[in-house]
């Protein structure tokens, strides 16, 4: 459908963004409302003390709040447009002013720091259970899931040339796994931790833990198999992590994931991240994000439905890709391409926007106030004041449009695919 197209989605979020007014824009409107009475007071004072009505007119003509009322929204819209051209959708414009203030970076693991395209490495079936049969039933259920591991299990079944069966009563709850009925058997895809929590006496049935990802398959409530997978870390992950502190002033970087501790620790060691939280439910993720946000502004990055509450709880939430509409709705910005380089570009866009807003608004207002002083002193005629006022407006607006004219964003890390 046309309404589901990428263009329609972009236009929809652009319209939503226009309805949300960042703090700097509200402050600009408030200062602009005060500026008019101030200009009138200066004009009346010049007329009262000198008796020269031309000075009164000159002050009113040269006074212009346009750098505040026009330059700020133009800069915001230009930044949103620039981001959209780079495949970054700004759903909430306040992201652009909050992002440069963030000092804690919190990452989900799968699909954020990894490519989110795991591959099945082995299927370890329980005694008396056929591995291909378990894989077939699991894949028949996983085709209804949006979890990153679902596509890997489906690909493994396709590679083994296994035909899928119909599944009924499919249920997937964040952090609780996937359940359903396949060919009359109750199938559940869960984790080692959750299985042992309800079956503490059956740990001997499971294979030893190993590095990488895994999921357990239960058939009619009984352990049937362990599917092991491996998800490669992103090539741009380590450079991005390393440069966050010296370049963007982040003081803390951490991983908060629902995956096993061995998997999270393994990836953290590869990327140089010291603080990790593994086996976290969506509720636990929210608690961690809220705790960190209370200490310092936080940036949370994730791509799964489990990340939606945490994305909404952080100072800035950035979602990767379009894996889940719920995730995209919870985030303030969406990276259409799964690339950390795009996150770096967004940080630069937000920093550039803040700088240009200050230049346009404060610089333009300073010029206007100086011009008012000269007009009150009788050095500027009303006609010259009108021309000067237009020149100040054009200068402020032209500076605000600089983001639109930029052909590229100077990111600190590179992506060979860009």
Residue 133's pLDDT is what? 94
Distance CA 331, CA 301 (A): 9
Q: Which pLDDT tens digit goes with each residue over 224-263?
A: 999 998 888 898 899 999 999 999 999 999 999 988 888 8
Percent with pLDDT over 70 in the chain = 87
Average pLDDT over residues 333-347: 89
Residues 335, 319 contacting (CB under 8 angstroms): yes
Residue 299's pLDDT is what? 96
In three-state form (DSSP H/G/I as H, E/B as E, the rest C), the secondary structure along 245-260 is HHHHCCCEEEEECCCC
Distance CA 59, CA 375 (A): 5
Q: Specify the residue for token string 């589901």.
A: 4
Q: Which pLDDT tens digit goes with each residue over 150-193?
A: 889 999 999 999 999 999 999 988 777 899 999 999 999 998 88
Q: What does the mean pLDDT of the chain come to? A: 84
Percent with pLDDT over 90 in the chain = 35
Residue 415's pLDDT is what? 53
Distance CA 331, CA 305 (A): 11
Distance CA 176, CA 186 (A): 16
Under the banding of pLDDT at 50, 70 and 90, the label for residue 17 is: very low
Distance CA 67, CA 392 (A): 8
Q: Which of 9-18, 160-169, 321-330, 334-343 has the highest mean pLDDT?
A: 160-169
Residues 129, 225 contacting (CB under 8 angstroms): yes
Under the banding of pLDDT at 50, 70 and 90, the label for residue 402 is: confident
Residue 2's pLDDT is what? 47
Q: Count of CB atoms within 10 A of residue 156's CB?
A: 22
Distance CA 309, CA 285 (A): 8
What residues have CB less than 8 Å from 405, skipping those under 6 apart? Answer: none
Distance CA 109, CA 204 (A): 29
Residue 361 has pLDDT above 60, yes or no: yes
Residue 19 has pLDDT above 60, yes or no: no
Lowest mean pLDDT among 238-252, 283-297, 395-409: 395-409
Average pLDDT over residues 277-304: 92
Q: Which pLDDT tens digit goes with each residue over 23-74?
A: 665 666 666 677 778 888 888 998 888 888 899 998 888 887 777 777 778 8
Q: Which pLDDT tens digit goes with each residue over 291-327?
A: 999 999 999 998 877 788 899 899 999 988 755 566 7
């Amino acid at each position: 459908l046309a309404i589901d197209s990428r263009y329609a989605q972009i236009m929809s979020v652009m319209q939503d963004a226009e309805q949300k007014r960042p703090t700097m824009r509200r402050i600009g409107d408030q200062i602009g409302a005060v500026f008019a009475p101030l200009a009138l007071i200066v004009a009346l004072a010049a007329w009262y003390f000198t008796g020269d009505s031309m000075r009164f007119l000159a002050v009113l003509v040269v006074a212009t709040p346009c750098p505040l009322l026009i330059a700020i929204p133009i800069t915001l819209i230009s930044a949103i447009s620039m981001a959209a051209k780079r495949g970054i959708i700004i759903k909430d414009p306040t992201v652009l002013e909050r992002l440069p203030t963030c000092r804690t970076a919190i990452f989900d693991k799968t699909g954020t720091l990894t490519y989110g395209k795991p591959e099945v490495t082995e299927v370890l079936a329980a005694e008396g259970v056929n591995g291909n049969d378990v894989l077939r039933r699991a894949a028949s259920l996983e085709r209804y899931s949006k979890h990153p591991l679902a596509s890997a299990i489906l690909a493994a079944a396709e590679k083994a040339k296994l035909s899928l069966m119909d599944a009924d009563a499919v249920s997937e709850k964040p952090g609780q796994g996937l359940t359903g009925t396949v060919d009359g058997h109750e199938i559940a895809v869960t984790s080692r931790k959750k299985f042992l929590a309800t079956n503490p006496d059956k740990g001997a049935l499971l294979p030893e833990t190993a590095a990488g990802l895994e999921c357990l398959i239960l058939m009619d409530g009984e352990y049937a198999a362990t599917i092991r997978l491996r998800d490669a870390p992103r090539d741009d992950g380590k450079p991005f992590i390393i440069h966050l502190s010296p370049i963007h002033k982040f003081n803390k970087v951490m991983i908060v994931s629902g995956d096993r501790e061995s998997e999270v620790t393994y990836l953290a060691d590869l990327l140089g991240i010291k603080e990790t939280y593994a086996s976290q439910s969506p509720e636990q993720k929210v608690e961690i994000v809220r705790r960190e946000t209370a200490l310092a502004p936080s940036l949370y990055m994730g791509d799964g439905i489990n990340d939606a509450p945490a994305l909404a709880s952080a100072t800035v939430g950035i979602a990767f890709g379009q894996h889940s509409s719920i995730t995209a709705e919870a985030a303030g910005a969406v990276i259409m391409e799964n690339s950390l380089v795009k996150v770096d570009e967004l940080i630069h866009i937000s920093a550039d926007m803040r700088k240009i807003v200050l230049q346009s608004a404060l610089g333009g207002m300073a010029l206007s106030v100086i011009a008012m002083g000269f007009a009150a002193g009788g050095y500027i005629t009303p006609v010259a004041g009108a021309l000067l006022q237009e020149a100040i407006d054009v200068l402020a607006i032209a500076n605000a449009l600089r983001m639109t004219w930029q052909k590229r964003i100077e990111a600190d890390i590179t992506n060979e695919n860009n």
